[in-house]
A = this chain, B = another copy of it.
Amino acid sequence: LMEDIHYTSRWGTGEKWGEKPTETGVSRLALSDADKEARDWFIHATEALGCHVTIDEMGNIFAVRPGVKNDKPPTFVGSHLDTQPSGGRYDGILGVCAGVEMLKVLADNWVETEYPVGVVNWTNEEGARFPISMMSSGVWAGYIPLDTAHNAKEVHPGTTTMGAELKRIGYMGKMPCSHESMPMAAHFELHIEQGPLLEMSNKKIGVVTGVQAYKWLQVTVKGRETHTGTTDLKSRADALLTAAKMILHSHKLATANNALASTGILHLKPGSTNTVPGEVTFTLDIRAQSDEAVARMEHLINHDFHKIASGENVGGLNPGCPLDALNTGCTPGLPCTVTIKEFFKSPATNFNPLCIDAVNRAAHSVLGPDSQDLVMEMTSGAGHDSVYTNKRCPTSMIFVPCREGVSHNPAEFCKDEDCALGAQVLLQSVLRFDRM
């Protein structure tokens, strides 16, 4: 398992963070040349283990190993081989490699399953290059239209689309991307936690019961381009200053509402040292345990951002201005305008009780006598392809701890032992489900 994880990191080797040769991140955006090579490896590895491989029109790759009976859909293990721009070696990769490892263990031990089992590599889970996360499991589940996905544009100034890149690297398959063309009996996913809870509480396995809700907004602030040296503060409609207030305020709202709010992308125009920015576009990723809490955050953001743009002193953001009143006599500047557009949402998810139970039993069986202290139920802060498979087939997930909870970072790290435990729990979960 660890050999595969480290071997495949040659495709998109990222930033070095330690001395050992394995201590670098992975930089493998979806449908890049590096992603193509990792995909080629996946097909080669699973075919060598006796799988039949199918690629759908979103580039999802399904490797299926026949069972004793083959008149029912396979039980799948799945995750993704794409990474963040400067991601680590485990996020997604652990899940796919653990699937390949499962196939090896089954082969080495001459295990025949009741029904087929499969491993799937989902395309563009990260939403880092084409800004819809869990994109291709979303299409498979019928929740994201194929056209929307194919026409999705790269997040960074560039003009290429998902569809064009699928064709370019030769991964636009013929099979329709749909749960009808490729049905699943169940979907299990092993993943690093990406947060600190398991590590902090000295647990080895997280039995994931669901995923929090989230929504991605694009905020565009329009002001007026003017000269930085000749325009007094009162005469500016400074789109960046206004965006800075919004970013700060969203953080304050998240703090007050037990939610998260984060800006990961920000572009401004025209981008010159001595011109006050006339337009700023930024993303806002808001998350909370319930759909209601995300809706409340969105409402507050909409309400307050319009006030901030118009120059009101929301939350005391305008120094020297009276609170929550239109600021005449102080220096908030001229009004800007703001538009807020949702570009992705994922409601709160509850996984399937049968699958959760299979994972729970597998975890206790793998960890043995001390398992009571080593397993915990938890929800996921991050989205995963399992969110979408859960809409079409019984699904659940297995978490293993990662160092300091750090993910989406080259230094993301999961101990060999923990990867192995997770893979073991994954294998047993699949076998338990197969028998059920």
The residues of A with any CB-CB pair to B shorter than 8 Å are: 84-86, 126-128, 131, 133, 155-156, 193-196, 212, 214, 216, 224-233, 235, 238, 240-241, 243-245, 247-248, 251-252, 254-256, 260, 262-266, 268-278, 283, 285, 287, 315-317, 319-320, 330-331, 380-383, 405-410
In contact, B263 and A240 (Cβ under 8 angstroms):
yes
A227, A287, A382, A406: residue with the most chain B Cβ atoms closer than 10 Å: A227
In contact, A254 and B271 (Cβ under 8 angstroms):
no
CB of A204, distance to nearest CB on chain B (Å): 18
Number of identical protomers: 2
In contact, A227 and B272 (Cβ under 8 angstroms):
no
In contact, A251 and B86 (Cβ under 8 angstroms):
no
Given A86-B269, A247-B240, A381-B230, A274:B126 Cβ within 8 A: yes
Note all chain B residues with C-beta closer than 8 A to A264.
228, 240, 271-277
In contact, A271 and B275 (Cβ under 8 angstroms):
no
Note all chain B residues with C-beta closer than 8 A to A266.
240, 266, 268
A231 to B261 alpha-carbon distance, docked (Å): 11
In contact, A252 and B319 (Cβ under 8 angstroms):
yes
Note all chain B residues with C-beta closer than 8 A to A382.
227, 229-230, 274
Closest chain B residue, CB of each to CB of A254: B233
Note all chain B residues with C-beta closer than 8 A to A195.
227, 230-232
In contact, A271 and B381 (Cβ under 8 angstroms):
no
A276 to B276 alpha-carbon distance, docked (Å): 25
In contact, B229 and A212 (Cβ under 8 angstroms):
yes
A228, A252, A277, A285: residue with the most chain B Cβ atoms closer than 10 Å: A228
13 A-B contact pairs sorted by A residue (CB < 8 Å): A85-B270, A86-B225, A195-B231, A214-B229, A225-B410, A226-B406, A232-B260, A255-B320, A264-B271, A264-B272, A264-B273, A264-B275, A265-B272
CB of A148, distance to nearest CB on chain B (Å): 16
In contact, A229 and B285 (Cβ under 8 angstroms):
yes
Closest chain B residue, CB of each to CB of A317: B248
